[in-house]
Structure 1
Amino acid sequence: MPRDARYWFPAKRYGWGWGFPITWQGWVIFAVFLILIAVGAMLIPRHSPLGFIAYVLVLSGLLVGVCWWKGEPPRWRWGGD
């Protein structure tokens, strides 16, 4: 299945959404996301569990936004294409 080099995140083979990154830029975004989650896990829960949930939701929304912008167009896939 050929991948367009301009996409950082390929579409999943089954279902809706994106898979793991296929470019170094995508991997940097994904690594920064994981590092920010880890830093938040160490700092925020001491003060507010709900604050940590909000923090994760904001970071996840930003990651989805980057995937939408730099990933293959999302649609439901059944594995044949």
Structure 2
Amino acid sequence: MAQKLPPVAPAQYWFPAKTYGWGWGLPITWQGWLVFLAALVLFAGGAFLFPPQEMLVGYVAYEAVIVAALIVVCHLKGEPTRWRWGKK
């Protein structure tokens, strides 16, 4: 007799797709909020780690890495995105 597999749980997205335009909205799970707030703290901390008046290139590079990491997490854990013109 064939063994019955358990039902597959639907994907739990951390970031919903935006209603208008392309990209993701604010987080909808605690994991998403944790990632979002960590990115904000790291983003704000860049001004202390790399003072823009003294190390502008380092500051811009640091901020670009934080933004890129957040985009990667949104892409991996967010709802698939496409250009949207509102709810259908």
State TM-score, norm by structure 1.
0.89
Q: Could you say which structure has the larger radius of gyration? A: 2
Runs of 4+ in 1 over 6 A off after TM superposition: none
Q: How far, CA to CA, are the matches of 2:44 and 2:85 in structure 1? A: 34
Alignment of 1:57-76 (within 5 A): 57-76=64-83
2:84 aligned with 1:77, yes or no? yes
Please tell me the residue identity of whatever aligns with 1:58. V
Q: How far, CA to CA, are the matches of 1:63 and 1:78 in structure 2? A: 24
Match of residue 10, structure 1, among 11, 16, 24: 16
Matched pairs, number: 78
Residue of structure 2 in register with 1:42 after alignment? 48
The runs of 5 or more residues in structure 2 that have no matched partner are: 1-9
> Is the deviation greater in 47-56 or in 61-70?
47-56
Q: How far, CA to CA, are the matches of 1:22 and 1:58 in structure 2? A: 24
Superposed displacement of residue 31, structure 1 = 0.6
Between the aligned residues of both structures, percent identity stands at 56
State TM-score, norm by structure 2.
0.82
Please tell me the residue identity of whatever aligns with 1:34. L
Q: How far, CA to CA, are the matches of 2:79 and 2:68 in structure 1? A: 17
2:29 aligned with 1:23, yes or no? yes
Q: How far, CA to CA, are the matches of 1:5 and 1:19 in structure 2? A: 17
